[in-house]
Amino acid sequence: MITAIIVDDHPLFAEGLKAMFKASDGIEIVEHTKNGNELPCILRNTQVDLILMDIDMPIMDGIATMELLKKEGFNIPILMLTMHQSMRKIKNSLEKGAQGYILKDASKPELVEAITKTSLRQNYFHPKINDQVFDYFRGRKSARAEADELSEREREIIECLAGGMNTKAISEALHISEHTVKTHRRNIMYKLDVKTSAELVKLAIEKGIIDIG
């Protein structure tokens, strides 16, 4: 029997999963928390085989929670659970040491497979994102990967734009010249193929390049 703890801010979803697994599945959700902060405390009192972690949570998201766990010295396989197939989030999760990545619109058998593999420290990718990940690590220029070719600096610029800053404000915030900000913005617009900053922000949110909350 694989024991798991679920970290998700939606009680209904968590309780639903808990109720869904029967003994015949060989999986049991033994704990649930809405808050990443509480995880270390819970893990010190409860032995689990893996952590089922939602990425998109208020206050402390899945990525931040993973960092906390690493800092506290925990080494339990983590299966990331998310709604969006954002290459950036997948990348961040893997860099932080996640063992698997599955979408919330997966089916039960898929989740069972993901949990089973992850608990054995085998990697698991949901089929829907498999190709994407492949392409990314192969050529870094698949059809839907353009958005993820943005550099960290460019992402910063987008975040500033979404925050209502104009060229001057951004240049001051990032300690660079206004010229540079304009160059970055222009490059981003070219890469994302948009005509205005407004559309740029919309697309960035849509593709998960920046977060809203």
Write out the residues near DNA by the rule CB under 7 A: 149, 151-154, 166-168, 174, 176-180, 182-186, 189, 195-198
Residue 100 β-bridge partners: 79, 124
Nearer to a second copy by C-beta: 104 or 153?
104
Tokens for 141?
């220029």
Q: Which residues are 81's β-sheet partners?
A: 54, 102
Among 104, 153, 155, 182, binds a second copy (CB under 8 A): 104
**Looking at 90-98, 128-136, 142-150, 190-198, which segment touches a second copy (CB under 8 A)?**
190-198
Task: Choose among a second copy, DNA, none what residue 182 binds, the Cβ cut-off being 5 to 8 Å by kind.
Answer: DNA
Number of shown-chain residues binding a second copy (CB under 8 A): 37
Rule CB under 8 A: say whether 12 interacts with a second copy.
Answer: yes
Three-state secondary structure along the chain? CEEEEEECCCHHHHHHHHHHCCHHHCEEEEEEECCHHHHHHHHHHCCCCEEEEECCCCCCCHHHHHHHHHHCCCCCCEEEEECCCCHHHHHHHHHCCCCEEEECCCCHHHHHHHHHHHHCCCCEECHHHHHHHHHHHHCCCCHHHHHHHCCHHHHHHHHHHHCCCCHHHHHHHHCCCHHHHHHHHHHHHHHHCCCCHHHHHHHHHHCCCCCCC
**Residue 154 contacts which entry, DNA, a second copy, none (Cβ below 5-8 A, type-dependent):** DNA
**Is 20 or 198 the residue whose CB approaches DNA more closely?**
198
Which residue's CB is nearer to DNA, number 138 or number 195? Answer: 195
**Interacting partner of 84 out of DNA, a second copy, none (Cβ under 5 to 8 A depending on kind):** none
Cβ 52 to a second copy shortest distance, Å: 11
User: Cβ–Cβ contacts within 10 Å for residue 59, how many?
Assistant: 11
Q: Which does 68 bind (CB under 5 to 8 A by kind): DNA, a second copy, none?
A: none
Say which entry of a second copy, DNA, none residue 20 contacts (CB below 5 to 8 A, set by partner kind).
a second copy
**Nearest approach, Cβ of residue 204 and DNA (Å):** 13
Site membership for a second copy, residue 11 (CB under 8 A): yes
Q: Does the footprint of a second copy cover residue 79 (CB under 8 A)?
A: no
Q: Tokens 């492949």, residue?
A: 134
* By CB under 8 A, residue 127 contacts a second copy: no
